[in-house]
Amino acid sequence: MPFYQFTVPSGDPTLEHKAEVAAAMTKVHSEVTGAPSAYVHCSFVEVPAGSVFVAGEPVTGPRMVGIIRDGRSAEVRGRLLHGLADAWCEITGIAKKDVAIFLQEVPGANVLEDGEILPESSQDPGAIS
Annotation: CATH topology of 1-69: Macrophage Migration Inhibitory Factor (3.30.429)
Whether 44 and 6 have beta carbons less than 8 Å apart is answered as yes
Q: How confident is the model at residue 120 (pLDDT cuts 50, 70, 90)?
A: confident
Give bridge partners of residue 128 from the DSSP assignment. none
Whether 44 and 8 have beta carbons less than 8 Å apart is answered as yes
Q: Is 25 exposed, middle or buried (0-12, 13-18, 19+ CB in 10 A)?
A: buried
Longest dimension (CA), the chain: 42
- What is the H or E stretch that residue 66 is in? strand 63-69
pLDDT at position 121 over 80: no
Q: What are the sequence ranges of the domains in the chain? A: 1-69
- Give the SS3 label for residue 64: strand
- Give the SS3 label for residue 47: strand
Q: How confident is the model at residue 123 (pLDDT cuts 50, 70, 90)?
A: low
pLDDT at position 127 over 50: no
What amino acid is encoded at 104 in this protein? Q
Question: pTM for the whole thing?
Answer: 0.90
Mean pLDDT for the stretch of residues 67-80: 96
pLDDT at position 45 over 70: yes
Helix axes 18-33, 74-92, angle to 10 degrees: 160
